[in-house]
Amino acid sequence: MDNLQTSAAAAMPSRATHTKTRYYILAMIFLVTAFNYGDRATLSMAASPMSAELGIDSVTMGYIFSAFAWAYVIGQIPGGWLLDKFGARKVYFWSLFLWSLFTVLMGFTDILGSTSTIIVSLFVLRFLVGLSESPAFPGNSKITAAWFPTKERGTAAAIFNSSSYFSTVLFAPLMGWLVASFHWQSIFWVMGGLGIILSFIWLKVIYSPNSHPTVNPEEVKYIAAEGALLDMGENSVKTEKEKITWAKVKQILSSRMMLGIFTGQYCVNTLTYFFLTWFPVYLVKERHLTILQAGFAAVAPALCGFIGGILGGLISDKLIRMNYSLTFARKLPIVCGFVLSTSIVMCNYVSSQAAIIFFMSLSFFGKGIGSLGWAVMSDVAPKEMIGVSGGMMNAFGNTAGIVTPIAIGYILASTGSFNLALTYVGIHAIAAVICYTAIVGKIQRFELKTTP
Domain boundaries, the chain: 20-232+244-439
Mean local confidence (pLDDT), 161-183: 79
Mean local confidence (pLDDT), 250-258: 87
The pLDDT confidence band at residue 4, using thresholds 50, 70 and 90, is very low
HSE-up (13 A, CA, CB side) for residue 154: 27
Angstrom distance (rounded) from CA 127 to CA 32: 20
The yes-or-no verdict on residue 435 having pLDDT over 90 is yes
More confident of the two residues 18 and 223? 223
Q: What is the pLDDT of residue 235?
A: 55
pLDDT by residue (tens digit) across 39-63?
A: 887 887 787 788 877 777 777 877 8
Name, of 15-29, 210-224, 282-296, the range with top average pLDDT.
Answer: 210-224
Mean local confidence (pLDDT), 70-84: 83
Q: What is the pLDDT of residue 6?
A: 40
The yes-or-no verdict on residue 357 having pLDDT over 80 is yes
- Its CATH class, for the domain covering 20-232+244-439, is mainly alpha
User: Using an 8 Å Cβ cutoff, are 160 and 306 in contact?
Assistant: no
Average pLDDT of the chain to the nearest whole number: 83
Mean local confidence (pLDDT), 144-161: 81
pLDDT by residue (tens digit) across 196-244?
A: 999 999 998 888 888 888 888 888 888 887 766 676 666 554 544 456 6
Which of 67-71, 128-132, 231-235 has the lowest average pLDDT?
231-235
The pLDDT confidence band at residue 399, using thresholds 50, 70 and 90, is confident
Name, of 33-37, 229-233, 402-406, the range with top average pLDDT.
Answer: 33-37
The yes-or-no verdict on residue 190 having pLDDT over 70 is yes
The pLDDT confidence band at residue 129, using thresholds 50, 70 and 90, is very high
% of residues, the chain, pLDDT over 70: 91
- pTM score: 0.70
% of residues, the chain, pLDDT over 90: 24
